[in-house]
Amino acid sequence: REDDGSVSQYLYFYHEFWCPSTFIQSTISFQNNFHAKDSDIIAASMPKSGSTWLKGLAYAIVNRQYFTSLENKHPLLLSNPHELVPQFEASLYGGKDPVLTQVDVPNMTEPRLFGTHMPFPSLPKSVKESNCKIIYICRNPFDIFVSYWTFFNKIRLKKSLTELTLEEAFERYCKGICIFGPFWENMLGYFKESIERPYRVLFLKYEDLKEDVNFNIKRIAEFVGIPFTQEEENNGVIENIIKLCSFESMKESNGNNSGTVTVNVDREFFFRKGEIGDWVNYFSPSMIERLSKIMQEKFSGSSLSFKGCP
């Protein structure tokens, strides 16, 4: 057990990952109660890797019919992607009664869309044994750290807690002590699965999405079995999705629709800069050296590489 310095009081090392105390009950409930369907689509990630963006894209791709019928009030303009694509370990199985309180999970419209930050090995057996599709978004650990630190300090401020210093947060991060971490285990678990079973796990990188979102939207659509038709492409459906899910559009609609996604987490907290390489404004030379060394050590046996960091 460790003091996590972020949202909940403690992190527990549970099933090989650091689980916030506030999520323990819901995590266990999810593991015990969820029955995957082959048509399910799961957006997975380490926190602060672009989960909100991925959820928005997946939702827009799956619900592309909205572009013709609900032009001006697309759900993504009214809600945060985390509200449209529920997180297993948080919203879905949370609450006092750790059974599905708000959403009728078994009867959700198919394909059902979910999110998770849990590492692959900790997912329920039914997810691992079904043919559901998992899309993982990975981001360079330097940018994740800055995004993580700034995000949790916003929450701390809201809860009237003192801000965590950069040094304190970095020390924990390097030891692997962060929500759903260690980050290297989280990334490597899904990466390995994406190599062994590429039809089950699509491994995306935040930096690649920034570079060519059009290409990656098509990849996602093909991966989940609903590729775009020529007609849809000609009608600018992909361009509409790009615009709807752009950082600017999401930040604006979430700012205009204030409110919280979960207790103490404002919708707008999920949108900060949306850039690659902002870490240069925060890292000292010794921090660069330390994190680079950790990455070399942890990722050396794999072919996983990162963009946007030293």
Question: Which CB atom, from 53 or from 100, has the smaller least distance to ligand A3P?
Answer: 53
Alpha-carbon distance 220 to 63, whole Å? Answer: 13
Catalytic residue status for 15: no
Q: Closest distance between ligand A3P and the C-beta of residue 129, in Å? A: 27
Question: Which CB atom, from 232 or from 278, has the smaller least distance to ligand A3P?
Answer: 278
Question: Which CB atom, from 46 or from 92, has the smaller least distance to ligand A3P?
Answer: 46
Other Cβ atoms less than 10 A from the Cβ of 59: the count is 24
Indicate the SS3 state at residue 91: helix
Q: Closest distance between ligand A3P and the C-beta of residue 139, in Å? A: 8
Catalytic residue among 15, 35, 74, 117: 117
Question: Which CB atom, from 67 or from 247, has the smaller least distance to ligand A3P?
Answer: 247
Indicate the SS3 state at residue 19: strand
Alpha-carbon distance 176 to 164, whole Å? Answer: 17
Facing residues of 137 across strands?
Answer: 45, 204
DSSP one-letter string for 24-57: HHHHHHHHHH----TT-EEEEE-TTSSHHHHHHH
Strand order in the sheet with 17-20: 2-3, 10-14, 17-20
- By the criterion CB under 6 A, which residues form the site for ligand A3P? 45, 47-53, 143, 147, 150, 245-247, 250, 270-274, 278
Question: Which CB atom, from 88 or from 100, has the smaller least distance to ligand A3P?
Answer: 88
Distant-in-sequence, close-in-space partners of 26: CB < 8 Å, separation ≥ 6: 88, 89, 90, 92, 93, 94, 95, 98
Q: Closest distance between ligand A3P and the C-beta of residue 118, in Å? A: 14
Indicate the SS3 state at residue 237: helix
User: CA torsion angle for 76, 81, 84, 87 (degrees, to 10)?
Assistant: 180
Alpha-carbon distance 165 to 190, whole Å? Answer: 31
Q: Closest distance between ligand A3P and the C-beta of residue 2, in Å? A: 21
Question: Which CB atom, from 51 or from 91, has the smaller least distance to ligand A3P?
Answer: 51
Q: Closest distance between ligand A3P and the C-beta of residue 180, in Å? A: 11
User: In terms of DSSP H, where are the helices of the chain?
Assistant: 21-33, 51-62, 66-69, 75-78, 81-84, 125-129, 141-158, 166-174, 183-196, 206-211, 213-223, 230-234, 237-244, 247-256, 285-299
Q: Which residues are catalytic?
A: 117
